[in-house]
């Protein structure tokens, strides 16, 4: 829920900063397809500047998590979250220094897309591909599926194949959707009133989430080094 809250905040706040939602790859690819047909080469390039960093962020998450797994680290999922915290600090500093210069959007969009891809892939790996924090379309679809099962009328409850809703999953999905929306409202208000340094509290929250498992691995390594 914390990560979904952050995703909503950065997505909404990023829209106020750069004029586009940086987690919406369906829209980016649709826009690129339109501009291929219309011959808008500049807009195709802008789409690629969002799409490629998102993919790169997801790939970076997979590299860090698999590296941590190969080295038997309990903090393997914390590594990409710590990187995300650092990148959010970089985004805040970039906006504070460079906004509204012409090069700001050209730098900020790839950075935000990388962050969104990084986080989405991390939560996908954590949840076994059941949850994606930035992919609200998938969350809403799963809510609809569970509601359909909840309201399904089983005429014969003693027959095989009874349709039953997963109420715990439905509750979790509703909480995630609410967290994303609340994060979006918080991010929009914060970025519009306080500016780009409002990204720093979210970086701190990520660091707090990632900190305990990272500290545990550091202490465990220290104990092994001392032969304890």
Return the higher-pLDDT residue of 221 and 146: 146
- d(CA 77, CA 83) in angstroms, rounded, equals 11
- d(CA 19, CA 112) in angstroms, rounded, equals 12
Residue 45 covered by a domain: yes
First to last CA, the chain: 37
**Which long-range contacts (C-beta less than 8 Å, at least 24 apart) are formed by 189-197?**
190/9, 190/13, 191/12, 191/13, 191/16, 191/17, 192/16, 195/95, 195/96, 196/17, 196/91, 196/92, 196/93, 196/94, 196/95, 196/96, 196/99, 197/92, 197/95, 197/96
Burial class of residue 84 in the structure, from the number of CB atoms within 10 Å of its CB (0-12 exposed, 13-18 middle, 19+ buried)? buried
Contact 213, 77 (CB under 8 A): yes
Contact 107, 98 (CB under 8 A): yes
Least confident of 56-60, 133-137, 187-191, 194-198: 133-137
The answer to whether residue 129 scores a pLDDT higher than 70 is no
Task: Give me the chain's average pLDDT, please.
Answer: 84
pLDDT digits (tens, 9 = 90+) for 157-212: 666 778 788 888 889 889 989 998 999 899 889 888 888 888 888 999 999 988 88
Residue 75 covered by a domain: yes
Residue 217 covered by a domain: yes
Residue 99 covered by a domain: yes
Q: Which domain holds residue 92?
A: 2-135+185-225
The answer to whether residue 60 scores a pLDDT higher than 90 is yes
Residue 167 covered by a domain: no
Residue 114 covered by a domain: yes
- d(CA 169, CA 139) in angstroms, rounded, equals 11
Residue 49 covered by a domain: yes
Q: For the chain, what is the domain count?
A: 1
Residue 147 covered by a domain: no
């Amino acid at each position: 829920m914390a990560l979904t809250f952050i995703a909503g905040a950065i997505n909404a706040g990023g829209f106020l900063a750069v004029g586009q939602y940086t987690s919406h790859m369906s829209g980016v690819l649709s826009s690129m397809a339109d501009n291929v047909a219309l011959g808008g080469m500049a807009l195709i390039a802008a789409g690629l500047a969002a799409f490629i960093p998102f993919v790169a962020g997801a790939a970076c998450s997979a590299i860090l998590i698999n590296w941590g797994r190969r080295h038997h680290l309990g903090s393997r999922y914390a590594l990409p979250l710590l990187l995300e915290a650092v990148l959010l600090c970089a985004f805040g500093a970039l906006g504070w220094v460079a906004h509204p210069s012409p090069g700001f959007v050209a730098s900020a969009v790839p950075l935000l897309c990388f962050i969104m891809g990084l986080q989405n892939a991390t939560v996908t790996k954590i949840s076994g591909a059941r949850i994606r924090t930035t992919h609200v379309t998938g969350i809403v679809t799963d809510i609809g599926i569970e509601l359909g099962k909840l309201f399904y009328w089983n005429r014969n409850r003693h027959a095989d194949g009874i349709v039953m809703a997963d109420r715990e999953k439905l509750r979790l999905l509703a909480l995630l959707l609410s967290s994303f929306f609340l994060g979006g409202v918080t991010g929009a208000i914060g970025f519009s009133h306080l500016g780009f340094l409002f990204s720093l509290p979210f970086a701190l929250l990520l660091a707090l989430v990632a900190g305990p498992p990272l500290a545990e691995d550091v202490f465990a390594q220290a104990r092994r080094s001392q032969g304890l």
